[in-house]
Amino acid sequence: MRYIRPLSIEDAVGELAKAVGPAAILAGGSDLLVRMKGGFVEPELIVDIKRIGGLSDVTETAEGFRIGAAVPCAVLGENKALRKAWPGVVEAANLIGSKQVQGRCTITGNLCNASPAADSVPALVAAGAKAVVAGPSGKRTIAVETVPTGPGRTSLAKGEIVEAILLDKRPEHAGDAYLRFIPRTEMDIAVVSAGVNLTLDDKGAIKTARVALGAAAPTVLLVEEAGQVLVGSKLDEATMERLAKICSGACRPIDDKRGTIEFRRKVAGVLARRVAAIAYKRAGGK
């Protein structure tokens, strides 16, 4: 096994591209090291990206926020500007693991680990976040929901690295939120989760909306129909009922010891209603 700490994204990409055997990227290591210890993966090359300039920074620009791939989730929770603009994204990121894990885990790692139950991903999808991908052919920017393709699988090609997550600048009268259902009160994997991001017009009606569900299918679901049903409403009861029905129907969950298919579908609808109400209130809705 080789362990390297490149100083540039180009060097990291080059090492990954020419790797012959299995290679892994180390940011926080909260997933990778556990999987290595359990014998699930045995990479021949580990590329530690924490010394690459900019990858450990949260930068606010005129366009919004750029979150480097190596920024720990605990740092996101300490960033007042990010918390104010995107509270749903931050609260989702701060649910990953324990306090100790929070100091290491990253939302980029959470995305690229490609777990259907990842906490930060539904919030990122609802937020319309983008991933900046660096690879042998250059850089490209893609929607975060296109990165995971199935449990433990991503769309990233050999040598590619997600170097940052982009969040747009917040317009006025906008809000987002995230909730999950877990059997315990802390440190558990979501049985179902939901993220909602919306904006309001001057009269308090919803102008745009995105709804995402986690742990409800092989990948996080962007439920476009659910977002469409919210537009033009002020979350009256009829709209809420339609939202819950659409989200329940969109689920393609598994049936296991943590929750039945019927239960997960029911909870998806309940969470969608609750999260929409929180996001609406944060946007200034009454």
Per-residue pLDDT tens over the stretch 108-126: 999 999 999 999 999 999 9
Q: Please compute the mean of the pLDDT values over residues 10-24 and round it to a whole number.
A: 95
In a domain? residue 77: yes
pLDDT-above-90 percentage for the chain: 92
Q: Which of 93, 123, 116 is nearest to 30 (CA)?
A: 93
Q: Is 196 helix (H, G, I), strand (E, B) or coil?
A: strand
Give the pLDDT band (50/70/90) at residue 165: very high
If we measure between CA atoms, which residue out of 200, 180, 179 comes closest to residue 282?
200
- Of 164 and 184, which is predicted with more confidence? 164
Q: Which domain holds residue 248?
A: 174-282
Q: Hey, what amino acid is at 268?
A: A
Has residue 55 been placed in a domain?
no
pLDDT at position 258, please? 83
CATH code, domain carrying 157: 3.30.465.10
Parallel, antiparallel, or unpaired for β 2-4 and 161-168? unpaired
* Whole-prediction pTM: 0.95
Check pLDDT > 80 for residue 185. Answer: no
Q: How many Cα atoms within 13 Å fall on the side-chain side of residue 283?
A: 30
The reply to whether 201 and 161 lie within a common domain is no
d(CA 212, CA 124): 9
Residue-level pLDDT at 87: 97
Verify that 110 and 187 share a domain, yes or no.
no
**Mean pLDDT, rounded, of the chain:** 95
CB-facing half-sphere around the CA of 262: CA atoms within 13 A: 0
